[in-house]
Structure 1
Amino acid sequence: MAEHVVLFAGPMGSGKTTAIRSLSEIDVVSTEATNTDRVTADKETTTVALDYGEITIDDVTKVRLYGVPGQKRFDFMWSILAGRARGLLLLIHNDAPDSITLLLQYLDDFQELSARGAVVIGVTKTDVAERPSVADYSSALSVAFPERLIPVFTVDPRNAEEMRTLLLTLVASVEMRELLTPTAATENI
């Protein structure tokens, strides 16, 4: 059975834990603690180490889902969990003050994973803020990464089918990238 490790990243409140819960076939391992940064995200709890779930895509493909904390003060976990990952599913909430800059900052923070793996962007909370549009995100990505095609979707992390579409897109991108650069698949095992 083929296995993929996928990292869910993004700012606090973007829906990483919820997305993993909506996808996982097992009980999600979660390290939630009381949120002491209510200014950044007005929610009761926040991830402080990781979230972990699993999903079987088909008879031959299993995906391990790792979610990292959204707060920079826990960024030491980012590099630990990114080491084995082959794909990055980056969630950005559309109601952030400057969500496009935030997106580019997170891609910079995960540049090593982005360079060796595949990336898919999910824009959440478009029901709360209509702008920027998917086209605005795509335009910013094409300027910042003219050599890469990075898919951008609007998504509700509570919706398992929408999240599955993002995940399948990411898995297909990972597998295509591995076919095109076979040594990349064996370097990180």
Structure 2
Amino acid sequence: MKRLDNKIIFTGPVGAGKTTAIGSISDVPPIKTDAAASDMTLHRKSHTTVALDYGVLNLDGGAKVHLYGTPGQERFDFMWDILSTGGIGLILLLDNSRPNPMKDMQFFMNAFKDFLRDAPLVIGVTKTDLKPSPSVKNYAEILARVDQRPPIFEIDGRSRDDVKNLVMALLFSIDPGLEG
């Protein structure tokens, strides 16, 4: 991580907390492209990201991490490739209260498989207060079966410390010599 400007992508299904997570850690007011939900998303929330979310995290020494959040709806998947271009890593947020978060994990890992060939992955599981199962251990067991072992955290996207832990785990996976 020798560059002064780095780009991290946040992805996951609608309602997983991407917009909230970026807002909680950004050192500048985040840019959001929310629009009123007009489809099945309306059952989960009133507004949804239609293009991107954007924030900046300033690190010591003048380095910056640009934080890009993808739309969660598959109909906006053309934005996923656009936003991930030049990215150094992927943070996948999973909403544990959705009907099948394991399927969501598999879907997004497959959707970003080309990106993940060269970039590390970190997973944050949200809304475990609403639905504690599956556990982080369950996710890790499923991933280990396919020889994947990304760092996995239970997080609250509103917590700057929780989101910072995700970002730092991603940065440490790129450069284990980084100081905290």
Q: TM-score range by the shorter chain?
A: over 0.9
Residue 120 of structure 1: aligned partner:
122
- TM superposition shift of 1:41: 4.5
Say how many residue pairs are matched. 174
2:22 and 2:99 mapped to 1: Cα distance? 25
- Please list the CA deviations of residues 148-187 of structure 1 after superposition, one character each: whole Å capped at 9, or x if unmatched: 42010000000001100111011111235xxxxxxxxxxx
1:82 and 1:149 mapped to 2: Cα distance? 21
- TM superposition shift of 1:95: 1.0
TM-score (norm 1): 0.88
TM-score (norm 2): 0.92
The within-5 A match list for 1:18-97 is 18-38=20-40, 41-97=43-99
1:107 and 1:47 mapped to 2: Cα distance? 20
On the 8 A contact 1:4/1:85 being kept in 2, the answer is yes
- Please list the CA deviations of residues 23-68 of structure 1 after superposition, one character each: whole Å capped at 9, or x if unmatched: 1011111101001134575211100000010011222431000000
The amino acid of 2:39's aligned partner reads: D
2:90 and 2:66 mapped to 1: Cα distance? 12
The amino acid of 1:167's aligned partner reads: V
Structure 1 counterpart SS, 2:5: strand
1:19 and 1:11 mapped to 2: Cα distance? 13
On the 8 A contact 2:14/2:41 being kept in 1, the answer is no
On the 8 A contact 1:13/1:41 being kept in 2, the answer is no
Residue 7 of structure 2: aligned partner:
5
Q: Percent identity?
A: 39
Residue 156 of structure 2: aligned partner:
156
Ranges in structure 1 where 5+ consecutive residues have no aligned partner: 177-189
